[in-house]
Structure 1
Amino acid sequence: MLVVETITRIRREHRDGKPIKAIARDLRLSRNTVRKAVRAPDADASYERKEQHRPQTGPFSARLEDLLEQNEGLPRRDRLRMTRIHDLLQREGFGGSYDAVRRYAARWKRERRADAGDMSKVFIPLMYRPGEAYQFDWSHEDVEIAGKPMRVKVAHMRFCWSRAPFVRAYPRETQEMVFDAHARAFAFFGGVPTRGIYDNMKTAVTTVFIGKDRLFNRRFLIMTDHYGVEPVACSPAAGWEKGQVENQVQTSRERLFKPRLRFASLEELNIWLEAECRRWAERNGHPDLDMTIAQALEAERPMLQPLPAPFDGFFESEHVASSTCLVSFDRNRYSVMAKAAHQTVQVRAYATRIVIRSDGAVIAEHERVFGRNQTITDAWHYLPILARKPGALRNGAPFQNWDLPPVLAELRRKLGKGDDADRRFVRVLAAIPDDGLEVVEAAVAEALSAGTVSDEVILNILSRRREPRDAQAMDVVVNLKLKHPPIADCARYDTVRGLNAAA
């Protein structure tokens, strides 16, 4: 095949009057080749084959088209690869190559699309009014949290008119995270559009019907109703229906998450991401308007719905508390009040906390953890059991590194160590469910200020405060400060009865 440089030289020398025979001799080309270059309308004498001859596939073209037609009607996961179709033809006597089958199949698909007038890859540009809609999606990104690699689930929201972005990272892609992402995004933007565009994520869509009909998740619908949003789900595998947020996912991956981010905690990462969203909006211009994205968001805010109170975005499930007053959830264990042992409880999982309820009352609340096989306990949950088993104070798991109030910590230190000291301290703690922590702390402080370290004195103070006498008697008791704790001694009665009383 001649290159363009050779063709232009032939045409130039021929124009200068050099014979074709001489040109062919000098360039070592055939005369027909030189004539073809001279007679071409321009120097681009590239060969274009008008028709592909198919001597091998010709006799098998009908069979190959049948196989292609059958394969096209199968579900995507059941369709045959071209190598398998080539193998089936070879079993029937086909002697051609795999490339011949592949080229024939590609041409067959193009002709079929042309005959059907296929417009699946042709799109119409979309336009939204201010405050009309937002788009929501998830992505998975790799970061480093507290020195360890972690793959986070990143929630993306984008306002369709102003193009304002919001990005927040979560350890899970569960429904309570969806609720939290919406509450934080609407607070970030300062208002709520009237329509939300989603893909068919399981946390939002329960069933996908033909066309646009969807059965949305009950809790998800309650959330959208709370904010006054009409949810719309895209067609399956049709990411272009929410192309703005799809583009944001790719852009934020390059702009925000590369190189790999390193933070001490997930909360620090989210603070940085929120600041970057503001910086992004301030530095980048709107693609259709002569203003920045931040200015477009300010112009869109008056058209948004007012921001309501945050949605109570929890995911609730039922569990049974164990004999050790622990409830298992998301591969971790959380303690509950002792009265809930062996009972069915309702766990409400939020993005950052766990609330456990029984019979409509809250029996535990913990900060949520996302590792595995972790046990999170509250020592106060075990106080009724400790009152009956004071020996557990020393080795009980919930009481290790117990962060006691300063007054109670001082009392425990002054009581000393040992079984007797533990029993005395537990007697004081056992009064907390009835009298309250503040009242017990005040009684302990009063006893310590009087220089007395005795559980009996503290319980006596609590008893007097529980059943007050007349004002005069109270004044006398309050002013009395014991130097030494009372000691029971029956021998003192003998001194009253006389010297010979013991005999």
Structure 2
Amino acid sequence: MFEALQKKRFKGSYRTVCLFIQEWRESKQETEAPVDQNMTRLSHPPGEAQLDFGQMEAVRNGELVDIHTLILSLPFSNSFTAIPLPRENTECLLHGLQEIFKQFDFVPRSIRIDNMRPAVAKARGNGSEMVFTDEFIKFANFYGFTPIACNPRSGNEKGNVENKVGYVRYNFMTPAPVIDDLEHLGRILARKSEEDRERLHYQKEVPIRELLDEEKKHCLALPETDYPVFREEEAKVNKYGEITLDKEKVYVPRGANFAKLHVVKYWDRFKDVSPFGEILLEDHRPYMGKTRKIPWKEILTSLIRKPRAVDNSRHMEYLPQNVREYLSIPDFRLRKERLRWLVGLLSHHSIQEIGDQFYELEPMCSDDSGSHPYEVDWSKYDSLQSTGKEVGA
């Protein structure tokens, strides 16, 4: 408002505008009917839970990384637990809930959530009624709890877990802990949550652990088997044999042979399956930040049919230098033989082992004539020598 007034050549200060607004609000309240500002104290029966995500920070490999922490609180006992996850998608949400149930060793009777995208599909009508996703409804039916959605823009309806997000951030994650991976951080948070239950409840003056034991009697037992958490989708394959997964290009061996692939997504890994049911690739999801194996056997096998593409293949720069130089020859027939030799070695050795033991492994290769494809034909060099007497011997 102050900036808009300045454009109209207002000469007053910012403080003048603030004082005017304050006086205007007070005068308006005097003319209107008084509003009761008192809050309503809510009671929470045992077995009622609240759920929310909170974004926090940790240090991994000397760098700050964002951690999506799923927190479930039980207002009756004021107990909670927290699970670190790589993303806030459906697979991570359901996996996180499974881990929470295992840590508590029971399932709450009801779980109140806000309008989080992995669980809520849309708001029906004027937004007062939420429609849960099919995956979340199936998960809830399997474990037997009742999902309850907060009203739109009403985070106060799950104020207990909102407070727990801040509690975990400022008590467990400040300063940012140094971690090896998410599993390491998960163990840290599980231990700290367990230790936190030794303190007294802020109102009942009873240890939280005792209240949690009492609350467990009102909750549901864990089923004998876990719910299978995964999603299956179709993915288009480009001419380079790549699909887009988690906003990244992922190379799939023989993927270009098919127009589409079935992608089975778990929270931490994935599988690419052909239309005929063959698993073409199984690996960690890109956002896990873990090294993924390059399918060298399939890549080099495809290059045998098109040896000219070796020089411009984007995978060449990832090969050990001695292997890369070994394939960088102008003779395409010889290049094919060397590719076949490497493919054969990959049945028993990794590409790094081949690079490290290259000269020890060389004699294992031979073509039909019994010669090694890396063997030097010295007669070609002799023909370039001068024919003087000094080289006659």
TM-score (norm. length: structure 2): 0.71
Once the two structures are superposed, residues 375-409 of structure 1 have per-residue CA deviations (whole angstroms, 9 ceiling, x without a partner) of 6444676798699887535567x9599449xxxxx
Structure-1 separation of matches of 2:250 and 2:347: 16
Structure-1 separation of matches of 2:56 and 2:126: 33
8 Å Cα contact 1:348-1:355 kept in structure 2: yes
Alignment of 1:147 with 2:62, yes or no, is: yes
Instruction: Select 1:367's aligned residue among 267, 272, 284.
Output: 284
Structure-2 residue corresponding to 1:83: 2
Instruction: Select 1:418's aligned residue among 356, 359, 365.
Output: 365
Closer, same or farther: CA 118–143 of 1 in aligned 2, 3 Å:
farther
8 Å Cα contact 2:242-2:255 kept in structure 1: no
Closer, same or farther: CA 102–381 of 1 in aligned 2, 3 Å:
same
Structure-2 residue corresponding to 1:270: 186
Structure-2 separation of matches of 1:217 and 1:349: 17
8 Å Cα contact 1:141-1:257 kept in structure 2: yes
Structure-1 separation of matches of 2:164 and 2:87: 20
Question: Structure 2 stretches of 5 or more lacking a match?
Answer: 306-335, 352-359, 371-393
- Please give the secondary structure, in 2, of the residue aligned with 1:303: coil
Alignment of 1:175 with 2:90, yes or no, is: yes
1:50-449 correspondence runs (5 A): 82-84=1-3, 86-87=5-6, 99-113=15-29, 116-117=32-33, 119=35, 122-131=38-47, 133-208=48-123, 209-210=125-126, 212-281=128-197, 283-308=198-223, 309-322=225-238, 325-334=241-250, 336=252, 338=254, 341-359=257-275, 361=277, 363=279, 364-370=281-287, 376-378=293-295, 391-393=338-340, 399=346, 402-403=349-350, 416-420=363-367
Closer, same or farther: CA 149–263 of 1 in aligned 2, 3 Å:
same
Closer, same or farther: CA 272–393 of 1 in aligned 2, 3 Å:
farther
Structure-1 separation of matches of 2:222 and 2:73: 17
8 Å Cα contact 2:111-2:147 kept in structure 1: yes
CA drift at 1:344: 1.1
CA drift at 1:158: 0.7
8 Å Cα contact 1:137-1:157 kept in structure 2: yes
CA drift at 1:184: 0.7
Question: Structure 1 stretches of 5 or more lacking a match?
Answer: 1-81, 405-412, 424-503
TM-score (norm. length: structure 1): 0.57
- Please give the secondary structure, in 2, of the residue aligned with 1:248: helix
- Please give the secondary structure, in 1, of the residue aligned with 2:152: coil
8 Å Cα contact 2:59-2:179 kept in structure 1: yes
Q: Normalized per residue, which structure has more helix?
A: 1
Structure-2 separation of matches of 1:254 and 1:87: 41
Structure-2 separation of matches of 1:218 and 1:251: 32
Q: Pairwise CA RMSD of aligned residues?
A: 3.9
Structure-2 separation of matches of 1:253 and 1:146: 21
- Please give the secondary structure, in 2, of the residue aligned with 1:262: coil
Once the two structures are superposed, residues 313-366 of structure 1 have per-residue CA deviations (whole angstroms, 9 ceiling, x without a partner) of 224432134556543312445455647732311222222111223447361322
Once the two structures are superposed, residues 75-130 of structure 1 have per-residue CA deviations (whole angstroms, 9 ceiling, x without a partner) of xxxxxxx3146448767xxx766544432322333444565557585321111111
CA drift at 1:165: 1.0
- Structure ranking higher on relative contact order (CA contacts 8 Å, 6+ apart): 2
**Paired letter, 1:251:** Y
8 Å Cα contact 1:86-1:98 kept in structure 2: no
Structure-1 separation of matches of 2:157 and 2:166: 16
Percent of residue pairs identical: 22
**Paired letter, 1:305:** L
